[in-house]
């Protein structure tokens, strides 16, 4: 933050997060917010050259992160299989991909996409019923984008697609809830103002988010997949909690109601929407990875490392 000495910005940052923890009803444990990015700099800690994603992979039984019941857990593919070309991927924590540390950090390899063993079979099957809308949309959108960028004849960057918003939102939110460390499955799930409505929505309560959350989306051109279950984002005196799932060709963002800290090109999505509009122009590409973008001035974000993950498709 320009104009502040080292101790001053650290005090401001600490004060803002403590305010979030102590006076915000979400009661996020302060010790879990273990990575901070602010105005172009960062602080955080992790191991020398092996991703901490390794520490959260093995589990058999636990508390399902959607229904909350203690059951045998199953693997959820995030993104779902039908929405991408399933390839070998390397997973890291997002903080580990930001150039912090002197040595390159080795990620977790998976031969068939990114998987999170955090939800029960029933919830996994329930999500599968809505995943069909993600798959259908992917198959409709992909050739349109390919044509736009491979030919000079298509001069219109705004594209509109049919959408069953309820099914799409239910699936995307379900995958956001599952894409995290298995450590969360070791403890009973408690009700919170932020996550409880999301779980209810996924499980069938269509109106659960009407008074608590806003949903946005935009064109996401990259092959790397971003999943962030919880980010505390601060912008010019305003703090909000948000969640994200981004994979080609769409970034999907959930945030607290009426907070409005979103990229300029983001579109609002309502459960009754019947279409989705994407702007394919390159003028917004500096911000397509929001909130993990270059920060300016009085901005910062805080994350829990284990539930903010990036997956890179790799060859071989």
Percent of the chain with pLDDT over 90: 54
User: For residue 275, is it within any domain?
Assistant: yes
What are 276-302's pLDDT values in tens digits? 999 999 999 999 999 998 888 888 888
User: For residue 1, is it within any domain?
Assistant: no
Q: How far apart are CA 159 and CA 144, in angstroms?
A: 8
User: For residue 205, is it within any domain?
Assistant: yes
Residue 96 — pLDDT band, cuts 50, 70, 90?
A: confident
pLDDT at 50 over 90: no
Torsion of CA 62, 63, 66, 69, to 10 degrees: 120
Q: 109 and 90 in contact (C-beta within 8 Å)?
A: yes
What are the contacts of 55-62 at 24+ separation with CB within 8 A?
55/181, 56/181, 56/182, 56/183, 56/306, 57/108, 57/117, 57/182, 58/182, 59/117, 59/182, 59/185, 59/186, 62/118, 62/182, 62/185, 62/186
100: Cα within 13 Å, side-chain hemisphere: 19
* Total domains in the fold of the chain: 1
DSSP state of 265: T
Residue 107 — pLDDT band, cuts 50, 70, 90?
A: confident
User: For residue 53, is it within any domain?
Assistant: yes
User: For residue 251, is it within any domain?
Assistant: yes
Residue (of 168, 161, 165) closest to 127 by Cα position: 168
Residue (of 244, 123, 254) closest to 185 by Cα position: 123
User: For residue 126, is it within any domain?
Assistant: yes
* Stronger pLDDT, 285 or 17, i.e. the higher one: 285
The per-residue pLDDT for 57 is 56
Tell me which residue range forms the domain holding 162: 6-313
User: For residue 272, is it within any domain?
Assistant: yes
What is the average pLDDT value for the chain, to the nearest integer? 82
Q: 177 and 195 in contact (C-beta within 8 Å)?
A: yes
User: For residue 57, is it within any domain?
Assistant: yes
């Amino acid at each position: 933050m320009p104009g502040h000495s080292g101790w001053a910005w650290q005090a401001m940052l600490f004060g803002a997060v403590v305010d979030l923890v102590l006076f915000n009803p979400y009661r996020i444990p302060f010790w879990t917010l273990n990575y901070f990015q602010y105005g172009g700099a960062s602080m955080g800690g992790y191991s020398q050259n092996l991703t901490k994603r390794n520490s959260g992979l093995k589990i058999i039984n636990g508390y399902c992160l959607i229904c909350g019941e203690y059951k045998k857990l199953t693997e959820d593919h995030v993104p779902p299989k039908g929405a991408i070309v399933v390839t070998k991927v390397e997973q890291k924590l997002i903080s580990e991909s930001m150039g912090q540390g002197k040595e390159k950090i080795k990620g977790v390899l998976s031969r068939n996409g990114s998987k999170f063993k955090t939800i029960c079979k029933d919830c996994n099957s329930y999500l599968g019923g809505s995943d069909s809308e993600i798959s259908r949309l992917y198959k409709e959108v992909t050739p349109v984008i390919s044509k736009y960028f491979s030919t000079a004849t298509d001069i219109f960057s705004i594209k509109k697609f049919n959408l069953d918003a309820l099914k799409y939102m239910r699936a995307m939110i379900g995958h956001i809830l599952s894409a995290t460390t298995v450590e969360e499955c070791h403890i009973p799930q408690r009700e919170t103002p932020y996550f409880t409505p999301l779980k209810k929505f996924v499980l069938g309560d269509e109106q659960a988010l009407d008074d608590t959350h806003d949903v946005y989306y935009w064109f996401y051109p990259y092959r790397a997949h971003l999943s962030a279950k919880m980010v505390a984002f601060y912008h010019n005196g305003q703090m909000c909690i948000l969640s994200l799932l981004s994979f080609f060709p769409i970034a999907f963002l959930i945030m607290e109601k009426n907070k409005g800290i979103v990229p300029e090109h983001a579109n609002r999505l309502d459960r009754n929407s019947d279409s989705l509009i994407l702007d394919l122009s390159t003028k917004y590409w500096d911000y397509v990875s929001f909130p993990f973008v270059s920060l300016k001035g009085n901005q910062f974000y805080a994350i829990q490392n284990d539930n903010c993950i990036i997956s890179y498709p790799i060859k071989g």
